[in-house]
Chains A and B, each alone.
Chain A
Amino acid sequence: KMPHNFWCYSDCVTYLPTEMRDKLRKWREDNSRNSEQIVDVGEELINEHSSKLGDDIWIIYEQVMIAALDCSRDDLAHTCLQELRRQFPDSHRVKRLTGMRLEALERKTQQPKNPPAARKRKISILKALGKSAEAIRELNEYLEQFVGDQEAWHELSELYINEHDYGKAAFCLEELMMTNPHNHLYCEQYAEVKYTQGGLENLELSRKYFAQALRLNNRNMRALFGFYMSASHIAASPKVSAKVKKDNMKYAAWAATQINKAYRLAGRGTKENKCSVKAVEEMLESMQITMS
């Protein structure tokens, strides 16, 4: 075990607890700010010889705590503070020390300026802890600075969807569609959000964006199904004019043909998929009934 007074280890002198205690007192009286030495001596004194210190222990806890903050030894500062709080629960002096520790901690988290990767990690942690509201707030702040970060916009849209805040999710997806007009996935996801929001206007919007997604990628099955479902619902709505109903029935019929085609193509040669094909045909037939 290394002697505690490593700063003069060449002497290889070990101090007695009484000597350590006297050193600490001297440093207190001189108001020396040799925090590292104080931490070194004080920590050993507290851990190994606390029983020998009598009532001095409390002032030593205070002295060591302050020095520990200086050396970024929050663990030690916390231990000392806990002992003091236990012994002097209502002490104003102890409250002041608590404040000192919090200030030191705050200074640490504020500098250096958090680089983007660290901020994103923080957001992931908030998410993992279930603190969705905070994660959302942080992500919004982050996006004010890094407005072009698509991954972040997408992440935010997902957070909003999980919180059932579809309006704000739509806003994020609108940002993404603006900057990525050829991305069929964003169109399709936006359409899904609008559909979920419900109401005739949103259904019509969703149908338009499902259609757009299909234009960008005619093999996007979600877009095809979505187009079919939204058109079907519009056609079945009692609030629409005869013309709108007729148009949407046409759209739905077209989509149904495409869906059937896609399933037949996929099911070619496989026995198992026959049930899927049949199920789809029946589903489409039953929806036709509800529409007319």
Chain B
Amino acid sequence: MPIQLTSQAYCKMLLHAAKYPHCAVNGLMVAEKSKDKKKDGHGEPVLCVDCVPLFHGTLSLSPMLEVALTLIDTWCKENKYVMAGYYQANERTKDTRPNQFAEKVAARISEHHSEAAIVMVDNSRLTTSCYEPIIHIYDHSENKWKIREVTQECFEDWSEAQKITSALLEGRSYENLIDFDNHLDDLRNDWTNPVINKSVLDLC
């Protein structure tokens, strides 16, 4: 089930990676719950409208991830979202394959929601201009994670996404990006990132 990203989802992912260039980062992607009860039609893309940045640094420990997943699950239900995927940017810029941990999290998401996708952010190509999409998308089929070619079709509106992301990166908005780690450091930090969301909306 192919996913598509909105500008908001894409740019928050990149802002997260840009805020912690020396660390691995990860997060969840959410889509609007489809009103249609039947399974999504073949090839019908799932639009990821937003993402929640989770952690930076050491990603491979469970307890806080469990807390985050549970909390975000509740938040999703409130807002009629479903978790649709997981993104990760690895610490070493040359490494863009999903590791065992990414696969585990994605599998976890898939248990409760339909097939999750993994998005890997290619740190090595992160610049303020970002003329090309710098992500790799992996879909789960036949028990394997297969990479899918990323084209402009993977975005709701690529040129808008590119412009907004570039503007926010240049304006160093990533300094204001809140991830779940920041939230645990100070509960007043809001992981839904209303400030960034507003900036995105203003630029649309």
Contacts and interface: CB of A to CB of B under 8 A. Distances in A.
Interface of A: 127-130, 158, 161-162, 164, 191-193, 195-196, 198, 206, 221-222, 225-226, 229-230, 262-263, 265-267, 270, 272-273, 275-276, 278-280, 282-283, 286-287
B58 A195 contact: no
A276 B183 CA distance: 10
Contacts of B70: 283, 286-287
B187 A262 contact: yes
Nearest to A221: B184
B45 interface: no
A283 B71 contact: yes
A194 to B, nearest CB: 9
Contacts, number: 89
Interface of B: 57-58, 60-64, 66-67, 70-75, 78, 91-92, 94-95, 100-101, 183-188, 190-192, 194
B60 A229 contact: no
B188 A161 contact: no
9 contacts: A127-B92, A196-B62, A222-B63, A262-B187, A272-B190, A276-B71, A276-B191, A278-B78, A279-B71
Residue among A127, A164, A279 having the largest count of chain B Cβ atoms under 10 Å: A279
A161 B94 contact: no
B63 A226 contact: yes
Contacts of B71: 276, 279-280, 283
Given A164-B60, A283-B70, A275 B187 contact: no
A192 B61 CA distance: 6
A130 B63 contact: no
B60 A161 contact: yes
Nearest to A206: B63
